Structure 1
């Protein structure tokens, strides 16, 4: 099951680990920096397609990103 709080935390952590700003991540996904901030705060949740693209971008499993698994890497 999708765990919003974990998704928000992991998205922020992955972005920070890559030393990216919200503006840089927004540019990658063609959204505003406010949208990225809302994703990280849990005020908005991206579409499933976008969540999958984010997982691909950060090279993590979709299950990890949404809190189903604690295993970061894709199989």
Structure 2
């Protein structure tokens, strides 16, 4: 699942407030947060720029701070239990630790 809602709440923004900042309706933001619809590439980038994160991170991927590789954990995986990047074995992920 993407991190739009998590970042919106962390920044104390309402659906309407975020929508006004990135020129989207609160309904569109809600559908994106709930996975009903997926943002277009330009919208992903606008949201990532607003929150100052990478698009892969915003999409819910784990992003390695060393190699910048990214992957989506398995559905049943507990993010906190993933110890290192599968590509370079770095133990740190952008925003996760």
Considering Cα pairs closer than 8 Å and 6+ residues apart, tell me whether 1 or 2 has the greater RCO.
Answer: 1
| Cα RMSD, aligned residues only | 1.2
1:46 equivalent in structure 2: 39
- Structure 2 residue corresponding to 1:22, chosen from 15, 18, 27: 15
Counterpart CA distance in 1 for 2:8 and 2:47 is: 10
- TM-score, normalising length: structure 1: 0.77
Q: Which has the higher strand share?
A: 2
More helix by share: 1
TM-score by structure 2 length? 0.61
Aligned length: 65
Structure 1 segments, 4+ long, off by >3 Å, are none
Structure 2 unmatched ranges of 5 or more: 64-93
**Structure 1 unaligned blocks of 5 or more:** none
